[in-house]
Amino acid sequence: MKNIKIVVATHKNYWMPEDEVYYPLQVGAEGKTALGNRFKSDNTGVNISGKNTNYCELTGLYWAWKNLDAEYIGLVHYRRQFAMRRWTKDRRYILSGEQISALLDECDVLLPVKRNYWIETSYSQYAHAHHAADLDITREIIAERHPEYISAYDAAMKLTTGHRFNMLIMKSDILDSYCTWLFGILFELEKRLDISDYSDNDKRVFGFVAERLMDVWLTTNKIRFKDIPYIFLENENWLRKGTRFVLRKIIKKSLDV
């Protein structure tokens, strides 16, 4: 089996897969009580743990990138895992190390099945849910620093589908390339963006923006990837999510009038 290490990002003591490829990691550990011996902490080694409020699970990705030594490195969430099928909470379907190793014979990157917004583009959905300036300033940075990515960025913003959640499993050299590019953009965005008046949720901006950048990077670099089902281990209130989706559109439209 390939040498694989997959960080399971969590902020609380939670059930974790037993397979040895999974690496429970407390994210945002800086200044917090340690979860216990089973969990590593993202405030060790080279880290950005103190940025977790704004970077979410990306502090775990950064820690894995800088501190783990493996042929393949990944990131999943404590509640959201790669699996053999969707629409179940059955932990037995979570992918094993052997299954992941076999899938990586076919590609270099594993990603969650794309999310489909149906009636929204990636840009409009973000603008309704958060602040359009986040993506507009990101585009400015890409145009200045990585102009070869700008056509893929514009195309991705017009799509109604995209990879989300910052979940991934990548060959380590590809992860190094991706993270160098991604965090370079996000750190510059952090310098330029004023989030002092943002809500607590919108202050998670750099994690949200990173989700929209994955497809930009994949397309430009022609990376071989495979979409994998994922499961959510807790209940999701789809009625509440749908209601919030509609309300955001109504409120945004009224503000634009």
Q: What span, in angstroms and rounded, lies between the C-alpha atoms of 25 and 32?
A: 13
**Residue of 167, 139, 148 lying closest to 227 (CA atoms):** 167
Q: Which helix (H) or strand (E) holds 232?
A: strand 230-232
Report the mean per-residue pLDDT for the chain: 93
Q: For residue 250, what pLDDT band results from cuts at 50, 70 and 90?
A: low
**pLDDT given at position 235:** 79
Helix axes of 205-221 and 150-158: crossing angle, nearest 10 degrees: 120
User: CB-side exposure of 220: number of CA atoms within 13 Å?
Assistant: 20
SS3 for 29-78 is CCCCCCCCCCCEECCCCCCCHHHHHHHCCHHHHHHHHHHCCCCEEEEEEC
Q: pLDDT tens for residues 147-201?
A: 999 999 999 999 999 999 999 999 999 999 999 999 999 999 999 999 999 999 9
Q: pLDDT tens for residues 44-83?
A: 999 999 999 999 999 999 999 999 999 999 999 999 999 9
**Which of the two residues, 123 and 245, has the higher pLDDT score?**
123
Determine contact, residues 115/253, Cβ cutoff 8 Å: no
Report the CATH number that the domain containing residue 11 is assigned in CATH: 3.90.550
Q: pLDDT tens for residues 25-48?
A: 999 999 999 999 999 999 999 999
For 163, phi then psi, to 5°, come to: -75, 135
Determine contact, residues 42/26, Cβ cutoff 8 Å: yes
Q: Which domain holds residue 25?
A: 4-256
Q: For residue 254, what pLDDT band results from cuts at 50, 70 and 90?
A: very low
Q: Which helix (H) or strand (E) holds 169?
A: strand 168-171
Summarize the confidence of residues 199-215 as an average pLDDT: 98
**Which of the two residues, 242 and 128, has the higher pLDDT score?**
128
Summarize the confidence of residues 200-229 as an average pLDDT: 98
Per-residue pLDDT at 251 exceeds 90: no
Per-residue pLDDT at 242 exceeds 80: no
Q: pLDDT tens for residues 77-105?
A: 999 999 999 999 999 999 999 999 999 99
Q: Per the structure, how many domains does the chain have?
A: 1
